[in-house]
A and B are shown apart, each in its own frame.
Chain A
Amino acid sequence: MSKRTFSSLLALMGVLTVIPGLLGIMLSLTGSSFTWGIITFAGEFVLWRGLILTAAGALFLVAINEANPVQKRAQAVLASLMIWIVGGMEILSVVLSSVPGEGARWLTTLEGFIASYQEPVIPSILLLPITLGLVLFIYLDGGKNEGKE
């Protein structure tokens, strides 16, 4: 992949990450929640998630102007790691809360279990597969040139 294409990819990732991040911060400061299609900005820690996504998006955007290719790729990996932490913990939370039942029932019903996994989801869950692909590409493609810069 050419330098220009990779930079464009980082710019796209930056915008896709910064927008929900800023929206999350604004919504949490105004004390409101918002759902659009399959994306939601609700639940605990909206402010923190917003702050982390904004910082991750900023990292993607700053990496565009980074001259050193290894530095550029490492910044993108760091930003992706931040998204993974937020998205990964949300998935863990959904999985763990989908198992127990209510009241005297130990385990939930099959319907209840399936319903736990229905959308809407927080933005970082949607960003998770994209960043996974990005990091895989960075290590497969960028790894060839590591140490040479």
Chain B
Amino acid sequence: MKLDTEKRWELIDKLARETVEYGAEKTTITTVLAELTVKPLTGIPFAVAVLYGFWAFFNAFAGFFTDGFFVPLFDEHWLPWLQRVFPLEGSWLYYVFVGEPGAQNSFEAFGILTSGLFVALGVVFPAIVAFYLVITILEDSGYMPRLAVLVDTVLHKIGLHGFAVVPMILSLGCNVPGVASTRTLETKKQRFMMMVLLSIFIPCGAQIGVMLSLIPEYFGYIMLYLLAGFFLFGYLLDRIIPGKSPEIMTDVPPFRIPTVSNVTRKLGVKVKGFLTNAIPFVLLGVGLVNLLYLGGVISRLSNFLAPVITGWFGVPKETVAPLIAGFLRKDLAVAQLTAIQMSNFQLITSVVLISIYFPCIATFSMIIKEGRRSGGVIKVLGGSLLTLGAVVFLWGGLLHLIGILLGVA
């Protein structure tokens, strides 16, 4: 038996009348508060306050550990000790593991055991713990679905729905779980769009941690430019890619106080994942870039790509080395940028380029894996690379143009 929509609703009404009992609704401050957080007029200012709290916590927590303890540990104790005891000063082995012999701090040394360990443990680790702690509390308190309802209207403009905010926020921690969580989206079109947009425009927590630590004054501008790109290219992709963007219905749970045991358990799982997956990549990245430097590959690549890097994007040709390192770890690449002599605007452009030019290797692998579910690996990967190429040249070039017009590039 096939019923049309009207008959189906009539049947639903009839079943509901016969089976559902309605009691008197009890209005409490908590229930009204729950409603207020999903109404745009009150919900948006509250969401701004929550996001402010998020970043303020991130800053305070990561700053406490990085500047307060890891910087003195690495710069005053670890680096001088390593420079004293590591044999074969001046050899390639010393250069790869310890870095520049006369370096004064762990950022400038750029060896596997100096900058590699410092970036991974001293900068990124506290940032990741802070990020996942807040995310877990927001998830367990029931605020996350409310945020999804709030941003639903905005995300509909680019063919997504409110729950796309979950992969977005997860990607702010790490793009890998962000891309994995796109499988909760309804259609292949939505999954593809989200994977591409996340891997290009959403910087991971590690990268954000390094940006906040090294260039906090430009962080807001960089995020604003990336977010503008997310929505503009999302809008264009929605128009170009065939497929549907259906409406969804979602259950918004009541507010709950998160339990300490649940939060610590979830935090433990997420942090363990970071320690086992990310740290080897950071160390490998430093080692690889150092070997490429020693072999003269970076110098040759810089000269080869100089016309595009300096002419189109307006950044120094030395940016090629961080761009290569960025394929392994973007946080590491941003850290490398600060050692290159360039203007403030060039630094902003370089950080944007590192974010948008290519996803890191871990995200890239996840796109290949998830591509199977979203229309086939070749189709997804081909589409992603095509979009990536277009975005890098258009969005990176546009930033250079803005700089020229403002007289700062």
Most B-side CB within 10 Å, residue of A45, A90, A142: A45
- The total of chain A residues at the interface (CB under 8 A) is 43
Interface residues on B, range: 20 to 34
Q: Does residue A51 face the partner (Cβ distance < 8 Å to B)?
A: yes
The residues of A that contact B341 with a CB separation of less than 8 Å are none
Q: Is the CB of A90 within 8 A of B52?
A: no
Q: Is the CB of B61 within 8 A of A96?
A: yes
Minimum Cβ distance to chain B for residue A143 (Å): 8
The residues of B that contact A73 with a CB separation of less than 8 Å are 29, 32
Q: Is the CB of A138 within 8 A of B29?
A: yes
Known: A97-B63, A99-B64. A149 touches B49 (CB 8 A): no
Which residue on chain B has the smallest CB distance to residue A71? Answer: B32
Q: Is the CB of B49 within 8 A of A52?
A: yes
Question: Among residues 274 to 310 in chain B, which have CB atoms less than 8 Å away from a CB atom of chain A?
Answer: none
The residues of A that contact B69 with a CB separation of less than 8 Å are 100, 106
Minimum Cβ distance to chain A for residue B74 (Å): 12
Minimum Cβ distance to chain B for residue A86 (Å): 7
Stretch in B3-11, B40-48, B372-380 touching the partner = B40-48
| CB 8 Å contact bits of B67-82 with A (1 = contact, 0 = none) | 1110010001000000
Most A-side CB within 10 Å, residue of B26, B32, B33: B32
Q: Is the CB of A92 within 8 A of B72?
A: no
Q: Is the CB of A74 within 8 A of B29?
A: yes
Q: Is the CB of A45 within 8 A of B56?
A: yes
CA distance A50 to B216 in the complex (A): 19
Which residue on chain B has the smallest CB distance to residue A93? Answer: B60
Known: A56-B45, A90-B56. A149 touches B27 (CB 8 A): yes
The residues of A that contact B216 with a CB separation of less than 8 Å are 44
| CB 8 Å contact bits of A55-66 with B (1 = contact, 0 = none) | 110110000000
Q: Does residue B50 face the partner (Cβ distance < 8 Å to A)?
A: yes
Q: Does residue A139 face the partner (Cβ distance < 8 Å to B)?
A: yes
Q: Is the CB of A100 within 8 A of B56?
A: no
CA distance A52 to B56 in the complex (A): 13
Minimum Cβ distance to chain B for residue A83 (Å): 9
CA distance A48 to B56 in the complex (A): 11
Which residue on chain A has the smallest CB distance to residue B57? Answer: A89
Known: A75-B36, A78-B42, A85-B53. A93 touches B48 (CB 8 A): no
Question: Among residues 165 to 189 in chain B, which have CB atoms less than 8 Å away from a CB atom of chain A?
Answer: none
Known: A44-B216, A77-B33. A49 touches B52 (CB 8 A): yes
CA distance A103 to B33 in the complex (A): 47
Write the residues of chain B forming the contact surface with A, with a CB cutoff of 8 angstroms.
26-29, 32-33, 36-37, 42, 45-46, 48-50, 52-53, 55-57, 59-61, 63-64, 67-69, 72, 76, 216
Write the residues of chain A forming the contact surface with B, with a CB cutoff of 8 angstroms.
44-45, 48-49, 51-52, 55-56, 58-59, 68, 70-71, 73-75, 77-78, 81-82, 85-86, 88-90, 92-93, 96-97, 99-101, 103-106, 138-139, 142-143, 146-147, 149
